[in-house]
Structures are given as C-alpha cells and as structure tokens.
Amino acid sequence: MKLPLPIRALLWPFSVVYGAAARLHAWLYVQGVYSRQHLDVPVVSVGNLTTGGTGKTPMVLWLAEKFLAEHRRVAILSRGYRGADGASDEVGMMKGRLGEKVVFGVGPDRYKEGKRIEAEHPINLFLLDDGFQHLELIRDFDIVMVDSSTFDSSQWLLPAGTMREPLSALRRASAVVVTRTRGANRESAVIEEIRAATDAPVFAAETKLLGWGCLNHGEGASVASDAIPALPFFAFCGIGNPDAFFGDVKGWGIELVGQQSFRDHHAYTARDLKLLEERAQQAGAKALLTTEKDIQNLKKLRFTKLPLYCCRIALEIRGGGELCALIRNKIAARVGNVE
C-alpha cells in the first residue's frame, strides 16, 4: 500500500539510512567480508526487490513442475513467513499443488534446512523461495520477479516506499521475470527500464487460469475452468497485490458485485467470515471467490450462507524454454557435467 505523501516525506530520512545499510550489506557479502554458506546441491533462488506480491510463489511452482518433469529430485527452501510449526500459507499452497513430489525445508535458517534435507533425501536441486536478499546462502541462479502493474523505478525504499533494495541491485540477478504484463505499451516501458539496469535476460509472464476449486464440493475439489457458475460473485483476498487479483477475475469474465482486501497473509477469524457474508449478500452476490493462498488462512473456518470458490493459477512465461536452458547450463557447470 502506498503511503500518503506527507507520511512518506516524514519517513524519507529513514529510507536513506535503510538504503545505505542495504547497499553496504550486499557489498560486504560480495567482497567476502561476510562469510557465505554453500550447499552441496545446486540452488535456484526466486525473489524480488519490493514488498508485496510479484508472483514469487507461482514462479517457484512453475520451476518445480518443469524440473520434476525432467525427473529431477526437487526440494524447496522457504522462510515460512508468518507461519507456524513449519508451515505458512504459501508453503501450504505449494504442498497442496505439488504433494509428496517435493521435499520442503521451512525456517529462517535456509542453510540449516538445506543441510538437513541433503542428509535425509537424495535431492539434486534446491529452489529458494524469496531468496534474493538472503545473501548468506550461495545460489547458482538468481531469478528476480518484477510486477509490471505496480512497477515504479522512482519508488522510495522502505519504510517510506515499498522497495527492499534499489533498482541497481538487479545487477546481481541471473534473470528477471516481469509478471502481470497487461498491454504492449506498459510491458515495453517496464522491460526497457529493467534492461537499462541489468545485463540479465528479461522474460515476460502472464497469469494463466488453470481452474476453480469449490469447498462445497469437498476439500479443495477442482472443477473445470469453464464450469464455474454464471453467478454474481463477491471477491476477497489477503495477498500482496489484491488489485491484480481483482483485475484478473474481471478479465476472466467473472461478474463481481463487490470486493474486500486484507493485509498480506491475513489470518481469517469467524468474525471476518460473518462480515464477508453480510457484505456479499448486501451487494447481491450469490457466491464468494478467493485465492488458493487465502484458503490456507481460512484454516477450518467455513462460510455457512454462500458457496466459496477459489481460483487456481499458474505463470505462463514467454521464452520459458530459454529460461530453463539457462538454469540447466548453470546446474551442469556446477555439477561438472554437460546435460
């Protein structure tokens, strides 16, 4: 969320200090002043420069599915932000999609989790979720996600703005994936700015609808993407970029009569559900709609008056085969053979 200008102006001095500290932090790792830890298995990191959603989790899923199809043994390392007992909404979503095909290591010490997995499982590829600023762990390939719908190269650093690092940090990237590319002019302008900041290859991605789930049909049961009923819906979510979700829903031809957003990773309460149903019914909605990630944060709570649907999405990357080839080459160089 963009803060009002007066508040941002008050916070600007803190952003200057934060930016200097972030640059120094990265420089100390690059120069070898701070030691970095090395896993035995190749690591592919997915991260971003900003707070909020840029498509990191769909990107990790995309990579996992691509490399599982090549019969690689994949493990995912995640901090598990705002989670508990080795889980979080994003980890729960990935486990729901990937099942037992992938090993998960969840916790702030990704190196420790990686070493544990290497000792217990015969894996040969790590995917590091939200890892661009986690410089303690050496990675073989760094993918940085940029959301074109919110991208602003003049945006201020934290806490006055949403930037974790300045745009110049893209020089560390191995590749950049620009998500939510809507409209050729917008996409071209964003990609042009990114290419001016880094020599890394830049790929464009769009959100693809895979299908729908309806909790009334059983726990997370899926229905075909064209089988969702032609009803007026009330949409809600607690994700990093709620406007992108609402925009996607409208783009898929769903009739929205109302919407409600919460802070990212919001843990829903019985009161939230009651208020959502009341607002939805007042707006004339006949069903509710949310994201796969939000389903994780509903826990065992259930709506009683309206059916709840969730959408299942995936990334569609233009030039995705080229991106996979770049990663394969890095992996091959690491393990000392050519695939």
CA distances to 31, 43, 77, 328 from 333, in Å? 23, 12, 22, 9
Closest C-alpha among 59, 66, 69, 70 to residue 78? 59
Please say if the pLDDT value at position 187 is more than 80.
Answer: no
333 vs 60, residue with greater confidence: 60
Closest C-alpha among 127, 105, 121 to residue 42? 127
Task: Quote the pLDDT of residue 336.
Answer: 61
Point out the least confidently predicted range of 65-74, 184-193, 219-228.
219-228
At residue 88's C-alpha, the angle toward residues 87 and 90, to 5°, is 125
Judgement on whether residues 107 and 120 belong to the same structural domain of the protein: yes
- Mean pLDDT along residues 167-191: 85
Task: Quote the pLDDT of residue 229.
Answer: 85
Judgement on whether residues 177 and 321 belong to the same structural domain of the protein: yes
For the chain, where are the alpha helices, taking DSSP H only?
5-30, 56-69, 89-98, 110-120, 184-197, 242-251, 270-283, 292-297, 320-335
Instruction: Report pLDDT digits (tens) over 302-313.
Output: 999 999 999 999
Judgement on whether residues 295 and 200 belong to the same structural domain of the protein: no
Joined tokens for residue 47? 């991260």
State the Cα–Cα distance between residues 224 and 146, nearest whole angstrom. Answer: 30
Cis? peptide before 159, omega within 30° of 0: yes
Mean pLDDT across the chain = 90
Task: Quote the pLDDT of residue 183.
Answer: 58
pLDDT class of 213 with cuts at 50, 70, 90: confident
Residue 159 forms part of a structural domain: yes
Stretch (H or E) spanning 315: strand 308-317
Residue 251 forms part of a structural domain: yes
Judgement on whether residues 185 and 74 belong to the same structural domain of the protein: yes
Task: Quote the pLDDT of residue 339.
Answer: 43
Point out the least confidently predicted range of 88-102, 110-124, 172-186.
172-186
Judgement on whether residues 196 and 331 belong to the same structural domain of the protein: yes
Judgement on whether residues 216 and 309 belong to the same structural domain of the protein: yes
CATH (domain of 290): 3.40.50
Joined tokens for residue 145? 């996600």
Burial class (CB in 10 A: 0-12, 13-18, 19+), 266: middle
Residue 249 forms part of a structural domain: yes
Question: Tokens 């963009």, residue?
Answer: 2
Task: Quote the pLDDT of residue 217.
Answer: 46
In percent, how much of the chain has pLDDT > 70?
91
Please say if the pLDDT value at position 321 is more than 70.
Answer: yes
Return the top range by mean pLDDT from 18-32, 46-60, 271-285.
271-285
Question: Tokens 């691509």, residue?
Answer: 66
> Structural domain of residue 198, as residue ranges?
35-206+317-335
State the Cα–Cα distance between residues 238 and 55, nearest whole angstrom. Answer: 14
Q: Are strands 256-261 and 233-237 parallel, antiparallel or unpaired?
A: parallel
pLDDT class of 52 with cuts at 50, 70, 90: confident
State the Cα–Cα distance between residues 83 and 68, nearest whole angstrom. Answer: 26
Q: Are strands 202-214 and 222-223 parallel, antiparallel or unpaired?
A: antiparallel
Residue 10 forms part of a structural domain: no
Task: Quote the pLDDT of residue 4.
Answer: 83
Residue 327 forms part of a structural domain: yes
- Mean pLDDT along residues 22-44: 93
Closest C-alpha among 21, 52, 45 to residue 173? 45
Task: Quote the pLDDT of residue 84.
Answer: 52
9 vs 339, residue with greater confidence: 9
Closest C-alpha among 47, 52, 50, 100 to residue 73? 100
Residue 26 forms part of a structural domain: no
Task: Quote the pLDDT of residue 223.
Answer: 56
Judgement on whether residues 68 and 186 belong to the same structural domain of the protein: yes
Domains contained in the chain, number: 2
Q: Enumerate residues 6+ apart whose C-beta is below 8 A from 323.
A: 143, 175, 177, 201, 203, 317
Q: Tabulate helix, strand, coil % of the chain (nearest 5).
A: 40, 25, 40
Judgement on whether residues 62 and 184 belong to the same structural domain of the protein: yes
Task: Quote the pLDDT of residue 86.
Answer: 59
Please say if the pLDDT value at position 225 is more than 60.
Answer: no
Judgement on whether residues 202 and 234 belong to the same structural domain of the protein: no
Instruction: Report pLDDT digits (tens) over 243-263.
Output: 999 999 998 889 999 999 999
At residue 65's C-alpha, the angle toward residues 61 and 71, to 5°, is 145
Residue 200 forms part of a structural domain: yes
Judgement on whether residues 236 and 247 belong to the same structural domain of the protein: yes
- Mean pLDDT along residues 33-42: 94
Judgement on whether residues 138 and 246 belong to the same structural domain of the protein: no
DSSP state, residue 50: B
Residue 120 forms part of a structural domain: yes
Buried b (16+ CB within 10 A) or exposed e, 290-307: bbbbbbbbbeeeebeebb
CATH (domain of 42): 3.40.50.300
Instruction: Report pLDDT digits (tens) over 107-164.
Output: 999 999 999 999 999 999 999 999 999 999 999 999 999 998 888 888 889 999 889 9
pLDDT class of 85 with cuts at 50, 70, 90: low
Task: Quote the pLDDT of residue 82.
Answer: 60
pLDDT class of 88 with cuts at 50, 70, 90: confident
Judgement on whether residues 65 and 184 belong to the same structural domain of the protein: yes
